[in-house]
Amino acid sequence: MRIDRTALTDLAQGAAFLGSGGGGDPYYSLLLGQAELARVESFELVPLDSLGDDALVVPCGWIGAPTVSVEKLPSGLEALAGLKRLERELGRPIDAVLPIEIGGGNGLAPLVSAARLGVPVVDADGMGRAFPESQMAIFNIRGLSACPSVLTAACGALTVIETDDNLTHERIARGLSVALGGIAHMVEYPLTGREAKDHAIGGSVSAAIAIGAAVRRAREGGDDPFAALYAALRDTSLYPYAGELFDGKIVDLERETQGGFSVGRVVIEGFGGSGRMELVFQNENLIARRDGDVVAMVPDLITVMDRETADSITTERLKYGQRVKIVGAAAPAMLREARALALVGPGAFGFTDAYRPIEALNGWDQG
């Protein structure tokens, strides 16, 4: 599959939704991709099963607080520098790259560096959405090492990280990203082709493109973009349940940058006195409560969207007075396994609520 200018825009739209509020606003990555398309015409996207078992496949993406990325632009050279340094560390060329997470700007992050390396992007990612911490990748859940990893800052500072523990790796990388201005690029979890085929969440990049395309076509045809979005999510098979959780206006917002994360809460008041919804976020939206009752929780997706355009609104771009719909979707099945929930479920973020699937909480599994 080739990603041309239209597919790139669709990918940005779909990845913004799959970020569940995080992953960084895709606007900057979209601009970089559009500029690169003047040179390469299209990006190459290959399926997981096309990889050789001994291939070197490298996930990459940005680490830090999305609020910082709004004000502090990268140089555009970080990803390529990190990938080339990893090649030197491992003593062999990289055969393919993939996004560490399909959500937000990180869903587009590998495209330009892959094109400049002359390698394809794999139609897969490591999270099936976005999560705030690197040890929340499926590769850690399945027992693979994040190291060696390479962290690169906009100033050109480059650090190779080697640890035996992926949580320690996250803490080191997070601390470095804060010290280097609040955001940095990270190349991590180098994989063999066999490991990628066994553990990566396959089809997520093409799913994001299909989701974005469905919304675009609905707008062009004057149809309901939200109905198109829900149908497209279900059709991917990765996100089998989706629907509206709430409709209203943002009436309260608390947000701060803390420890390398954007953390806070947002309150939405329903139209016509139809109650209130509160979302709690740490880069990504983590839990949604409607009039005090939980209606969605991690790892399922919770995305705030403009109620007129169906554009996804990342947590760093939430504003008082925005008129929004809160949309939820079921997470990929791999994230709902018991070993995954221990690392990406509600308890991993300090919530006492036991995980319940979004479709059960909202009765979507009844019809």
The pLDDT assigned to 60 comes to: 95
Rounded CA-CA distance 184/173 in Å is: 9
pLDDT digits (tens, 9 = 90+) for 245-260: 999 999 999 999 887 7
**Topology of 2-202 in CATH?**
CV3147-like fold (3.40.1610)
Q: Is 270 within 8 Å of 248 (Cβ atoms)?
A: yes
The pLDDT assigned to 98 comes to: 97
How long a stretch of residues is the chain?
Answer: 367
pLDDT digits (tens, 9 = 90+) for 262-280: 899 999 999 988 899 999 9
* Residue 68 scores a pLDDT above 70: no
Per-domain residue ranges of the chain: 2-202, 239-366
Rounded CA-CA distance 355/153 in Å is: 36
Rounded CA-CA distance 209/8 in Å is: 8
CATH architecture of 239-366: Beta Barrel (2.40)
Q: List residues bridging with 46 in a β-sheet.
A: 122
Q: Is 82 within 8 Å of 109 (Cβ atoms)?
A: no
pLDDT digits (tens, 9 = 90+) for 160-191: 999 999 999 999 999 998 888 888 999 999 99
Cis peptide before 299 (omega within 30 of 0): yes
Reading the block at residue 292, the tokens are 């005090």
Cα within 13 Å of Cα(205), Cβ side: 30
Secondary element (H or E) of residue 362: helix 358-362
* Residue 72 scores a pLDDT above 70: no
Nearest to 19 by CA among 99, 101, 100, 103: 103
Rounded CA-CA distance 175/277 in Å is: 33
